[in-house]
């Protein structure tokens, strides 16, 4: 069976949870099998929360990061995954929340798509044009053929149409610091060689996969911003760690990675979209507002 069809079946078939809940409530009126019915009802309610409620929430989380050598306030989002499970309606709400925040810029750490219709990309990302601060982005594995499909060029054009600057392999000025973009690691586009060409101001590196930080040192980046992990997406204690796609133990939030060049601080956001299952649990879509301090 086609993988896209399977995802669509999961997405729309999950609505059957609602009649199942009605049926379980009816069974609770009977004296027989009450315990089993109550247990199944509890499971169904957790499923409904994880499928229909939590993925539509938008949490704003503030983190102060000192010692960056510069002062700026950045909104970090990632893994929007517009396509099979989420559309421009959710992105509209996300933009409204960001516009209400006192930030200097928005950075998007890749995986903005999840098997969308290529012809609709410009329409899909139209809400981004309403952001009232500069927007910088890099692409992720779902945007660059790993696992694919490869929509790299058409996606870049769609984002550029809405004033989103894709900064892979180059710098962008942001006040007293510089942003540098690395492409996706799985697509082998995260070559950091160009970073050595600029040492005048603190550099914040934006990348999709936090594992890309293994090639960096403190002289390359005062901070690395990434996504990719989803924080496990369905964050069941202990189990979620086994599905996080990171070779170096990244999860979420601020972590320090020891690399051959020294220690590098990496902030990984949990993202705002879903892949695989259209669900989130104990891990709502998040806008991370990073208050960078000298």
CB 174 within 8 A of CB 72: yes
Report yes or no on whether pTM surpasses 0.85: yes
Domain limits, the chain: 3-55, 58-292
Question: What is the residue whose two structure tokens read 């507002």?
Answer: 289
pLDDT for position 25: 77
- Give the integer Cα–Cα distance in Å for 285 and 105: 19
| β-strand pairing of 164-166 with 171-174 | unpaired
Name the stretches of the chain with pLDDT < 50. Answer: none
96-151 per-position pLDDT tens digit: 999 999 999 999 999 999 989 776 899 999 999 999 999 999 999 999 877 767 89
- Reference 121, options 139, 96, 94; nearest CA is 139
What was the pLDDT predicted at 250? Answer: 98
Q: Domain 58-292 classified CATH 3.60.21.10? A: yes
Q: pLDDT tens-digit profile of 91-103? A: 999 999 999 999 9
Record the tokens describing residue 48, joined without a space.
């409904």
Q: Assess contact for 266 and 275: CB atoms under 8 A.
A: no
- Helix/strand/coil for 78: coil
């Amino acid at each position: 069976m086609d993988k896209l069809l399977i995802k669509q079946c999961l997405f729309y078939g999950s609505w059957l949870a609602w009649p199942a809940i009605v049926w379980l409530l009816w069974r609770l009126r009977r004296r027989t099998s009450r315990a089993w019915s109550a247990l199944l009802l509890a499971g169904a309610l957790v499923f409904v929360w994880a499928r229909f409620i939590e993925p539509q929430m938008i949490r704003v989380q503030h983190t102060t990061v000192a010692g960056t050598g510069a002062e700026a306030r950045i909104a970090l989002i990632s893994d929007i995954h517009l396509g099979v499970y989420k559309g421009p309606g959710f992105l509209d709400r996300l933009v409204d929340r960001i516009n209400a925040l006192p930030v200097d810029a928005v950075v998007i750490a890749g995986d903005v798509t999840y098997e969308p219709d290529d012809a609709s990309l410009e329409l899909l990302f139209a809400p981004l044009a309403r952001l009232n601060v500069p927007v910088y982005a890099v692409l992720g594995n779902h945007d660059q053929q790993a696992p694919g499909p490869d929509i790299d060029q058409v996606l870049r054009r769609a984002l550029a149409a809405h004033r989103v600057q894709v900064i892979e392999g180059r710098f962008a000025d942001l006040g007293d610091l510089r942003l540098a973009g690395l492409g996706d690691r799985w697509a082998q586009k995260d070559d950091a060689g160009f970073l050595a060409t600029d040492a005048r101001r603190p550099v914040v590196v934006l990348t999709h996969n936090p594992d890309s930080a293994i090639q960096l040192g403190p002289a390359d980046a005062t901070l690395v911003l990434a996504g990719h992990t989803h924080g496990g997406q369905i964050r069941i204690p202990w189990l979620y760690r086994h599905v996080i796609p990171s070779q170096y133990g990244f999860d979420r939030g601020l972590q320090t990675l020891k690399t051959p060049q020294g220690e590098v601080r990496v902030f990984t956001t949990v993202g705002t979209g879903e892949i695989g299952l259209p669900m989130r649990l104990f891990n709502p879509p998040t806008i991370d507002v990073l208050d960078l301090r000298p």
